[in-house]
Structure 1
Amino acid sequence: MNAPGPHQEDVHLVVLTGMSGGGKTIALRAMEDLNFYCVDNLPAPLLTQLVKAVDSNARETNARIAVGIDVRSEDLASMPGMLSELAAEGVVVHLVFVDSRDEVLLKRFSETRRRHPLSTGGMSLADAIARERKLLRPLMSIAEHVIDTSDLNVHQLRRMIATEFAAAAEGMTLLFESFAFKHGLPLDADFVFDARCLPNPHWNRTLRPLSGKDAPVREFLETQPMVGEYLDDIMRFLDTWLPRFKHADRSYVTVSIGCTGGRHRSVYLAERLSEHFHAGRDEVLTFHRELD
């Protein structure tokens, strides 16, 4: 076993692979939100060189790398050996396989009219999916995490990735989530705030089809003194108590804000809170459960 390099005990490498159309690119973007250095479609033989290059440039912060590798990558068969060698050198290695049921993959490719990377020489889409699954089976068998995205939307997948790998990010990751009370409470919320007492843009016909991310809704809510008071109170509360969570070595905290429909008030507050806390930290995410 090789001795770790000068910084390699601080290197976190996440290799994202899986079925085309399964959501690998979305997962990689979620890693980017956690401030990982991300590279997509990297040829497998270049993986070791990339880790060394990023590690050598990571001066005062840990090197966090996420790499997307798909079935088109050269020399996939060598991937298990390369990951083992990196782990032996002290790199913290995670192999994540993003999967989906065949019928879901067929539907996704049909809806987007994208071409499967193996659909060449007259091969049908179904046959291309079957061939890809066979080629990737060795990687799937050694994956630390296998994520089935068949029944997940984009937001749910991003949230799952963020929750799973927040610990690899430096410091504590904050997630501000909006939701509708009528659809139930988020099960993993650390703090829940109820915005149903605030003026509701839903009753304005012009604002009703918009969301709390749109300028007219923001402008309406910012003219309401009660909204400003409520937002200030939440900020003061979190400014006081979030450091206690950090001192307790928590890597991930979810703050959920709900309103009736999860479209206007809760979305606005989640966005404003994200802006406020992003000024002092890097790992701040937002998730709007009721917005597709």
Structure 2
Amino acid sequence: MQKRSDSLMPLVLVTGPSGAGRSSAINVLEDLGFEAIDNLPLRLLPRLVLTDRLESPMALGLDSRNRDFTPEALLDLIAVFEGYHHVALTVLYLDARPDVLLRRYSETRRRHPLAPAETPEIGVSRELDLMRPIRDRADMLLDTSDLNVHQLKAEIEHWFAPDGRSLALSLQSFSYKRGIPHSVDMVFDCRFLTNPYWQEGLRGLDGRDPAVQAHVKTDPRYSDFFDRVLGLTELLLPAYREEGKSHLSIAFGCTGGQHRSVTLAETLAKALAEGGQQVSIRHRELQGQQ
């Protein structure tokens, strides 16, 4: 695998025979912050990379299903990218034994793209022969024959995120009157805490205001509750990373979604950010006010 300069933007060409795990590798790279583009015609890619100047790392998925794919065309494309002085190119080739590729096709019952009207055996053999020049050119060869999806993720992360995989954490507040948000991992009910709504001077404010936060924190149950939520979150973050998860979403709910839930989301976000965790915040009921 070629060395990268820190001043250059990573460009990864992900290729290999069908069934070797190319799509899974692309998904992992996307979770690591790469802009992932799969199966665009080869002729469009040089202009895409040159025009964008790669403001973020890019991963391009290429295989025999590309409309204008030939080994010669892909080798020519690699030569073009090698001439770009703003990128650090890596050709990642996902490989697998023929019997493994055949078994994977048998399990999915899909037609092989190079033998749609013939047996999968013919398609696998034909594609391995076709891809051999690309395999010989690859900077990084990864045999997935004996890897499950979690092991494949670990291998990709080892090469392209050696300092550890980042995990996106999102916090949000909501009103129980409008229902619990979809696709959240954990929900905490804050309705037991003292409600600033009943304070005339605080009713028109929300949990982003220091006065509202101070009032919520006067509840004697607040500190213990917050400490437990913070401890649980700090416990789960590394566990999620080890499991290969890319996102953790936590929601806080109260009656109106204005005061207590917003306070908890804001306070937890601040505590985690001070520990180096990147956090995004969404206040569902305040969206029109932000």
Q: TM-score band, normalised by the shorter chain? A: 0.5 to 0.7
What amino acid is aligned across from residue 65 of structure 1 in structure 2? M
TM-aligned CA distance change 1:232 to 1:20, over 3 Å: same
Q: Distance in 2 between matches of 1:160 and 1:147?
A: 8
Q: What does 1:36-185 align with in structure 2 at a 5 Å threshold? A: 36-55=34-53, 62-73=55-66, 74=68, 75-90=70-85, 91-120=87-116, 122-166=117-161, 173-174=165-166
What amino acid is aligned across from residue 88 of structure 2 in structure 1? V
Q: Is the 8 A contact 2:186 2:249 kept in 1?
A: no
What amino acid is aligned across from residue 50 of structure 1 in structure 2? L
Shift of 1:83: 1.7
Q: Distance in 2 between matches of 1:53 and 1:21?
A: 32
TM-aligned CA distance change 1:49 to 1:127, over 3 Å: same
Match of 1:30 in 2: 28
Shift of 1:27: 0.7
Q: Is the 8 A contact 2:10 2:89 kept in 1?
A: yes
TM-aligned CA distance change 1:118 to 1:234, over 3 Å: same
**Superimposed CA distance per residue, residues 80-100 of structure 1 (whole angstroms, 9 cap, x where no aligned partner):** 233233223222101011111
**Structure 1 stretches lacking a partner, 5+ long:** 1-8, 177-213, 238-253, 281-292
Q: Which has the higher contact order (CA 8 A, sep 6+)?
A: 1
**Superimposed CA distance per residue, residues 132-151 of structure 1 (whole angstroms, 9 cap, x where no aligned partner):** 00000001111111111122
What amino acid is aligned across from residue 94 of structure 1 in structure 2? T
Match of 2:206 in 1: none
Match of 1:11 in 2: 9
Q: Distance in 2 between matches of 1:267 and 1:87?
A: 32
TM-score for the superposition, normalised by structure 2? 0.57
TM-aligned CA distance change 1:257 to 1:54, over 3 Å: closer
Q: Distance in 2 between matches of 1:226 and 1:92?
A: 50
| Over 4 Å off, 4+ runs | 217-220, 225-231, 233-237, 270-273
Q: Is the 8 A contact 2:71 2:133 kept in 1?
A: no
Task: Give the SS at the match of 2:161.
Answer: helix
Q: Is the 8 A contact 2:153 2:244 kept in 1?
A: no
What amino acid is aligned across from residue 112 of structure 1 in structure 2? T
Shift of 1:64: 1.2
CA RMSD after TM alignment: 4.1
Q: Is the 8 A contact 1:44 1:76 kept in 2?
A: no
Q: Distance in 1 between matches of 2:244 and 2:228?
A: 14
Percent of aligned pairs sharing the same letter: 31
Worse-superposed segment, 140-149 or 72-81: 72-81
Q: Is the 8 A contact 1:99 1:148 kept in 2?
A: yes
Q: Distance in 1 between matches of 2:50 and 2:19?
A: 30
TM-score for the superposition, normalised by structure 1? 0.56
**Structure 2 stretches lacking a partner, 5+ long:** 1-6, 169-182, 191-222, 251-268, 281-290
Which of these two proteins has the greater Rg computed from alpha carbons? 2
What amino acid is aligned across from residue 112 of structure 2 in structure 1? H
Q: Distance in 2 between matches of 1:10 and 1:42?
A: 23
Q: Distance in 1 between matches of 2:234 and 2:186?
A: 21
* Mapped pair 1:279 → 2:279: yes
Shift of 1:219: 6.4
TM-aligned CA distance change 1:79 to 1:174, over 3 Å: same
Q: Is the 8 A contact 2:167 2:248 kept in 1?
A: no
Task: Give the SS at the match of 1:174.
Answer: coil
Q: Is the 8 A contact 2:150 2:244 kept in 1?
A: no
Q: Distance in 1 between matches of 2:234 and 2:153?
A: 28
Q: Distance in 2 between matches of 1:105 and 1:226?
A: 54
Shift of 1:229: 4.7
Q: Distance in 1 between matches of 2:98 and 2:40?
A: 25
